[in-house]
């Protein structure tokens, strides 16, 4: 039994905390103080009800639920940060002063969280012997129904894990394999950044359907209705550009997006085109809420500045052109009146600016 702390009480955090509790660990679920009221009902019960594990809900009892991040991470052997990309920095600042030698910390969700923590630790002068890493995706499809109640289904696969530096990835995978046997090692954290499924299928679909999503007053099936053959070709081209970056960096995984739908369990069998794969996948039934604020949703406000902008920056270092990714960043910026390239996450903002391809690869592979 280990002391496990899960930072972030959204759908993913609920699912991860429940999983760790079922495995017999002593689990604390913690959230930033500004979200204390949201977790108050869960603090009273310390019980998570998980739907989707079978015909009946399954309960998980936690040891503690807290809005004191510092206290929650002190003494924890294993820490999971399960937050959107815009939560990486506040979570890193909240926990950094309280981390100590020997702890393992994993960002679960979209990549680059480990780079944020590395930069925060350096900025604040904190030096700890930590084992740190990140995944490219949550190992669940999860939706929060209410505090303490989550719909969560395990993905079959498609979740990769890398340590910073990557020479410690095997050690990190071994630490979490008992919780998620389907997790596989990534080459390094550049691979977890580039294998961002949301960056591939969210932005293109929303941008290409912007007028409908903004003006429609009823929900729609984002991919079931919006992923027409033309839109699917845009998604496929984004994927091809990212595959080109992965190839230029010598990353080992060259799986196309449509086959990752199979790997995750969102599609039963491989399809010859992205259009056919999307139409036959579980994504086709995904409901998107339309209206005047539709373009302010995370599919743009998170996946453009924190994912596509960073991917385009990595492409520049790798010497790969990304005209469609660059175009989507520009269009999303125009649609929302926000310069996402100017405000987004870049290698320079992560303390990795000015490096060429080989120097960047050396940093993520060897440096502590």
In which residue ranges of the chain is pLDDT below 70?
368
Where do the domains of the chain lie, and which CATH numbers do they carry? 3-186 (3.40.50.720), 196-366 (1.10.1040.10)
Q: Which 3 state secondary structure label does DSSP give 50?
A: strand
Task: Report how far residue 335's alpha carbon sits from residue 211's, in angstroms, rounded to the nearest whole number.
Answer: 10
The single-letter DSSP state of residue 292 is T
Which stretches within 137-228 are classed as H helix? 169-176, 189-194, 197-208, 210-215, 222-226
Beta strands in 140-286 (DSSP E): 140-146, 149-154, 160-164, 184-185, 220-221
> Cα angle at 78 between 73 and 80, to 5 degrees?
75
Of residues 90, 14, 24, 21, the one with CA closest to residue 52: 14
Query: What are the Cα distances from residue 200, in Å, to 21, 206, 215, 255, 334?
Result: 33, 11, 24, 13, 19
pLDDT at 28: 98
Task: Report how far residue 280's alpha carbon sits from residue 89's, in angstroms, rounded to the nearest whole number.
Answer: 37
Q: What pTM was computed for the model? A: 0.96
pLDDT at 368: 59
Q: Phi/psi of residue 249, each to 5°?
A: -90, 0
Does residue 134 contact residue 161 with C-beta atoms inside 8 Å?
yes
Distance spanning both ends of the chain, measured CA to CA: 28
Task: Report how far residue 183's alpha carbon sits from residue 155's, in angstroms, rounded to the nearest whole number.
Answer: 10
Does residue 148 contact residue 51 with C-beta atoms inside 8 Å?
no
DSSP line for 295-361 = GGSHHHHTTIIIIIHHHHHHHHHHT---HHHHHHHHHHHHHHT--HHHHS--TGGGT-TT--HHHHH
Gyration radius from the chain CA atoms: 20
Of residues 37, 49, 53, the one with CA closest to residue 11: 49
Predicted confidence (pLDDT) per residue in 49-89, tens digit: 999 888 889 999 999 999 999 999 999 999 999 999 999 99
Q: Do the bridges between strand 220-221 and strand 287-288 make them parallel or antiparallel, or are there none, so unpaired?
A: antiparallel
Tokens at residue 213, please? 């999503």
Cis peptide, bond prior to residue 281, ω within 30 of zero: no
Query: Exposure of 316 by Cβ count < 10 A (0-12 exposed, 13-18 middle, 19+ buried)?
Result: middle
Neighbours of 277 (CB within 10 A): 27
Of residues 366, 337, 363, 340, the one with CA closest to residue 350: 363
Predicted confidence (pLDDT) per residue in 236-283, tens digit: 999 999 999 999 999 989 999 999 999 999 999 999 999 999 999 999
């Amino acid at each position: 039994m280990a002391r496990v702390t899960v930072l972030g009480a959204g759908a993913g955090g609920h699912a991860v905390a429940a999983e760790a509790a079922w495995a017999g660990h002593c689990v604390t679920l913690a959230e930033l103080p500004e979200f204390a009221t949201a977790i108050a009902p869960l603090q009273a019960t310390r019980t998570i009800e998980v739907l989707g594990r079978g015909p009946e809900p399954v309960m998980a009892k936690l040891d503690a639920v807290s809005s004191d991040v510092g206290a929650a991470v002190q003494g924890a052997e294993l820490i999971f940060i399960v937050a959107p990309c815009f939560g990486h920095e506040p979570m890193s600042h909240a926990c950094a002063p309280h981390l100590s030698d020997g702890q393992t910390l994993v960002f679960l969700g979209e990549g680059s969280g480990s780079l944020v923590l590395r930069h925060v630790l350096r900025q604040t002068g904190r030096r700890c012997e930590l084992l740190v890493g990140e995944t490219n995706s949550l190992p669940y499809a999860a939706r929060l129904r209410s505090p303490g109640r989550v719909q969560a289904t395990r993905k079959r696969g498609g979740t990769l894990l890398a340590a910073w530096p990557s020479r410690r990835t095997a050690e990190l995978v071994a630490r979490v394999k008992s919780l998620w046997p389907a997790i596989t090692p990534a080459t390094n954290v550049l691979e977890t950044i580039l294998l961002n499924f949301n960056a591939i299928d969210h932005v293109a679909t929303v941008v290409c359907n912007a007028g409908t999503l903004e003006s429609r007053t009823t929900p729609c099936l984002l991919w079931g209705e919006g992923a027409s053959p033309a839109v699917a070709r845009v998604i496929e081209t984004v994927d091809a550009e990212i595959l080109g970056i992965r190839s230029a960096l010598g990353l080992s995984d060259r799986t196309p997006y449509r086959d990752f739908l199979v790997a995750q369990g969102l599609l039963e069998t491989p399809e010859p085109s992205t259009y056919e794969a999307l139409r036959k996948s579980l994504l086709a039934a995904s409901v998107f809420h339309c209206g005047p604020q539709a373009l302010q949703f995370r599919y743009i406000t998170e996946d453009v500045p924190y994912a596509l902008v960073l991917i385009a920056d990595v492409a520049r270092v790798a010497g790969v052109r990304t005209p469609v990714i660059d175009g989507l960043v520009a269009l999303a910026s125009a649609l929302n009146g926000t310069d996402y390239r100017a405000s987004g996450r870049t290698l320079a903002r992560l303390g990795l600016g000015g490096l060429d391809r080989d120097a960047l690869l050396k940093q993520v592979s060897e440096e502590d």
